[in-house]
């Protein structure tokens, strides 16, 4: 828990920042830029996840836990609708909410939908116009005006997540939005924690790829153990949480065949991304009433 985390001198800040945006707006690229993360994982699986921790950014004495929500999209089915509402609960709880848009097309229908959600949930948000390296100054000002006429954003930032222009200002601003409080993660472990998130994400993606027909949004993955081995390999233990026994049976498969395959695919991806040998151990647990609240996210982060 946070009491055990070594705190620096002076006041610290820590909190959650939700990043929302249409697919391809540049969320992953921005997260990498904000965290200065060398190891990047760009997820191509949009619209599949609950709000989840993505990375931790440090700025001065502030620790910003970046969470993202499912690609906000037009729900086609009741389940999707529930998912979106759920996710927005998560965004509303965050200490800062960033609406990230690809600036080039301006106020698209998709962007209007996102703004409608913000308005409906009375969410205070910061507008971040991305990909300014591909825009003229005139167009940029036009787009900023267009968005600000559509919603009372707290601030507007113009950035290139790709080349980092404007992202430091955004980071400083977000740091200031974090409430005063103890850090959730020790600074020297932030990189490790990040690797654990990434490993969980890789398994989650494999599950999605293999089982999305049967298990659309029902699972979450947490990395519980990460043990460095003397020979340079790493032993990783993860738990796949599902909501019902029937889903557990799907993940396990007949005679454990499915989980074996999932583990193999996830391990291969981890070895590729981390460039080292991985021993992966997967477990499935049923967790009922999986809730999306802030406390849950906190615990999720602290559990890994
Ligand atoms: N030129 C330019 N390209 C960018 C910028 N930011 C992101 N991109 C590119 O836009 C594409 C999408 O970026 P991602 O970071 O994967 O976008 P995302 O929002 O995480 O996408 P999903 O995970 O699919 O929702 C990638 O090809 C990025 O390289 C930018 O500031 N400038």
ipTM of the complex: 0.97
> Could you identify the atom of ligand 1 that is nearest to the CA of residue 163?
31
E-strand ranges in 79-217 read 96-102, 126-130, 156-158
Cα–Cα separations (whole angstroms), residue 45 to 177, 251, 291: 29, 19, 22
Measured CA to CA, the distance from residue 185 to residue 193 in angstroms comes to 8
pLDDT at 22: 84
Instruction: Indicate which atom in ligand 1 lies nearest the CA of residue 71.
Output: 25
Q: Does the domain spanning 187-303 belong to CATH 3.90.550.10? A: no
**How remote is the CA of residue 160 from the centroid of ligand 1, in Å?**
10
Could you read off the pLDDT of 214-270 as tens digits, one per residue?
A: 876 657 888 888 888 899 899 999 999 888 899 999 999 999 999 999 999 999 999
Measured from the CB, is residue 29 less than 6 Å from ligand 1?
Answer: yes
- Report pLDDT for 221: 87
- pLDDT at residue 296 above 80? no
Lowest mean pLDDT among 41-45, 155-159, 166-170, 226-230: 41-45
Domain locations in the chain as residue ranges: 2-177, 187-303
Q: Is the CB of 162 under 6 A from ligand 1?
A: yes
Residue of 104, 161, 208 to test ligand 1 pocket, by largest number of atoms within 8 Å of CB: 161
The SS3 of residue 202 is helix
User: Which of 75-89, 160-174, 210-224, 287-301 reaches the highest mean pLDDT?
Assistant: 160-174
Q: Mean per-residue pLDDT for 180-196?
A: 77
DSSP 23: T
Any residues with CB less than 8 A from the CB of 10 and at least 6 apart, and which?
Answer: 61
Residue 130 Cα: closest atom of ligand 1: 31
Answer yes or no: is the C-beta of 131 below 6 A from any ligand 1 atom: yes
182: pLDDT strictly greater than 70:
yes
Measuring CA to CA, which residue among 60, 61, 43 is closest to residue 52?
43
Ligand 1: centre distance to CA 153 (Å):
22
pLDDT, average across residues 63-84: 53
Choose which residue among 19, 23, 24, 105 to substitute to test ligand 1 binding: the one with the highest number of ligand atoms within 8 A of its C-beta. 24
Confidence of residue 80 (pLDDT cuts 50, 70, 90): very low
CATH class of 2-177: alpha beta
């Amino acid at each position: 828990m946070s009491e055990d985390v070594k705190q620096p001198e002076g006041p610290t800040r820590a909190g959650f920042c939700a990043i929302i945006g249409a697919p391809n707006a540049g969320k992953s690229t921005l997260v990498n830029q904000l965290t200065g993360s060398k190891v990047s994982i760009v997820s191509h699986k949009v619209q599949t996840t609950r709000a989840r921790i993505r990375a931790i950014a440090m700025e001065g004495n502030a620790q910003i836990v970046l969470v993202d929500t499912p690609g906000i999209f037009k729900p086609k089915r009741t389940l999707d609708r529930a998912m979106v509402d759920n996710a927005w609960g998560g965004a509303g709880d965050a200490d800062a909410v960033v609406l990230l848009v690809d600036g080039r097309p301006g106020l698209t229908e998709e962007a209007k939908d996102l703004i409608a959600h913000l308005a409906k949930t009375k969410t205070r948000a910061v507008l971040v116009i991305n990909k300014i390296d591909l825009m003229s100054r005139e167009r940029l000002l036009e787009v900023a005006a267009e968005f600000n006429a559509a919603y009372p954003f707290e601030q507007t930032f113009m950035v290139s997540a790709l080349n980092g222009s404007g992202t430091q200002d955004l980071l400083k601003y977000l740091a200031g939005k974090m409430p005063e409080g103890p850090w959730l993660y020790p600074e020297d472990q932030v990189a490790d924690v990040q690797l654990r998130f990434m490993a969980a994400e890789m398994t989650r993606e494999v599950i999605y790829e293999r089982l999305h027909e049967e298990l659309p949004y029902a699972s979450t993955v947490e990395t519980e153990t990460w043990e460095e081995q003397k020979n340079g390999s790493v032993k990783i233990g993860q738990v796949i949480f599902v909501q019902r026994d029937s889903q557990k049976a799907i993940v396990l498969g007949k005679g454990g065949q499915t989980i074996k395959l999932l583990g193999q695919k996830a391990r291969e991806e981890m070895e590729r991304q981390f460039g080292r040998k991985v021993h992966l151990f997967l477990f499935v647990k049923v967790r009922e009433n999986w809730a999306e609240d802030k406390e849950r996210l906190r615990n999720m982060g602290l559990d890994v």
